Amino acid sequence: MRSRTPDRLCAEAVDVARDAAARAAHPQPLGAYLGAVAEGDRLVTHLFASEDPGYPGWRWGVTVARAARAKYVTVDEVALTPGPDALLAPAWVPWHERLRPGDLGPGDLLPAEDDDLRLEPGWTPGTAEAPEHATAERAQVTDVALQPGLGRRRVLSWAGVSEAADRWEETHGPRTPMAENAPGPCVSCGFLLPMAGQLRQAFGVCGNGYSPADGRVVSLAYGCGAHSEAARAPEPQRPAPPVIDHMGADPL
Ligand code: SF4
């Protein structure tokens, strides 16, 4: 159990600790003495400020110890440790969590993990055990199912669909500056290509080469200035000729 009161001889061994810290800190100078902490019975850590410009707020900790009934204090350990205001490196992020959208380049591979929450098991011809007598029916079902693309090992889960919808809504949704200044929503635009699947009632694909959203999935409530029914700009009105012409010169 850790003793609250530092051992007297260990607590007095500040010079021993300072020598050890100065040797470890060399060639940088050692900073001020910051105090002692009792680590256990006859075990005390003396702290000194680090003056190394690369380690602001760090401290040299020198742990000194003494054997029972011994008069001599020896250095147990010297370590540079961060203080409460120390400049620290950011928390470690595992490599597989560092990728961000857009990081993937040509030739890069990014297989989805087996437990990726965005995916769930899809329907494939071999996933269901069929009784022997049902083989013919199963082959027929397989043919029909493969046509709409059901022969995939995994498909988007509800979480994956929801994530995608949130992403698209954020970039091409009604609350974007482009949509807020558009003459009309995509749902009424002739350039909108309808989507298949469960998101078709909320999204489509823009097929207007002049729109910044060309080829992108857009919310039906999105819109841009290239809307097919955008009102034509009215012709500027010609001012009526002046009744008394004081603009031109009269020939004399
Ligand atoms: S042209 Fe504009 S309004 Fe029309 S579908 Fe594309 S983004 Fe929507």
Residues 146 and 189 in one domain: no
Residues with CB under 6 A from ligand 1: 186, 189, 191-192, 206, 208, 211, 213, 218, 222-224, 226-227
Q: Which residue has the higher pLDDT, 247 or 107?
A: 107
pTM recorded for the entire structure: 0.51
Q: Is residue 23 part of a domain?
A: yes
Residues 204 and 146 in one domain: no
First to last CA, the chain: 119
Q: Is residue 237 part of a domain?
A: no
Q: Which of 237, 239, 193 lies closest to 218 in space, CA to CA?
A: 193
Q: Is residue 250 part of a domain?
A: no
pLDDT tens string 168-222 = 999 999 999 999 999 999 999 999 999 988 899 999 999 999 999 999 999 999 9
What pLDDT is stored for residue 131 in this prediction? 46
Sign of CA dihedral 210, 211, 216, 220: negative
Residues 15 and 78 in one domain: yes
Cα–ligand 1 centroid distance for 226 (angstroms): 6
The answer to whether the beta carbons of residues 238 and 221 sit under 8 Å apart is no
For ligand 1, what atom is nearest to the CA of residue 189?
A: 4
Residues 146 and 169 in one domain: no
Convert 207-229 to b/e letters by CB count within 10 Å (16 or more is b).
ebeebebeeebbbbbbbbebbee
Residue 223 pLDDT class (50, 70, 90 cuts): very high
Q: Is residue 231 part of a domain?
A: no
Instruction: Judge whether residue 163 has pLDDT over 90.
Output: yes
Residues 214 and 186 in one domain: yes
Cα–ligand 1 centroid distance for 213 (angstroms): 7
Task: Tokens for 129, please give them.
Answer: 């055990």
Residues 71 and 12 in one domain: yes
Residues 147 and 171 in one domain: no
Q: 204: domain range?
A: 158-219
What CATH number is associated with residue 60?
3.10.450
The answer to whether the beta carbons of residues 208 and 165 sit under 8 Å apart is no
